[in-house]
Amino acid sequence: MPKITVLPHPVLCPNGAEITDAPVGQTICDVLLDHHVDIDHACEKSCACTTCHVVIKQGFNSLEDATDLEEDLLDQAWGLTPTSRLSCQARVADVDLVVELPKYTINHAREH
């Protein structure tokens, strides 16, 4: 199983995280949530918002291409980069990933 390294985020994951058993085919969002990285996902992972936006720092080319809908939504994300993805849509492949959680999202209030 590939490894996902989550870079430190001041609120969601202050010390970063290393997930050594990310199941191939599962979304990055689900893997993070299953490992107690409380990433926002305001639309309940239905590809209808950008709150689960992540930046893939390593392993981006291993992911399947984003759909047109995901690309359209990403255009609204804060801190968009060429390697941005919606974590609810990007599925883990067989390559290790390094993921950065953006400092801000368009989510005005977090629900726990």
| CB-neighbour burial class of residue 27 (10 A; exposed 0-12, middle 13-18, buried 19+) | buried
4-100 classified as CATH 1.10.3260.10: no
Domain ranges in the chain are 4-100
The model's confidence at residue 109, banded by pLDDT at 50, 70 and 90, is very low
pTM: 0.91
Identify the pLDDT of residue 42.
86
Identify the pLDDT of residue 106.
64
Q: Are 93 and 24 within 8 A, CB to CB?
A: yes
Question: In Å, what is the CA distance from 14 to each residue of 8, 10, 38, 39?
Answer: 5, 5, 12, 13
Mean residue pLDDT of the chain comes to: 92
**Structure tokens belonging to residue 18:** 């290393």
pLDDT in tens, 24-47: 999 999 999 999 999 988 888 999
pLDDT in tens, 40-76: 888 889 999 999 999 999 999 999 999 999 999 999 9
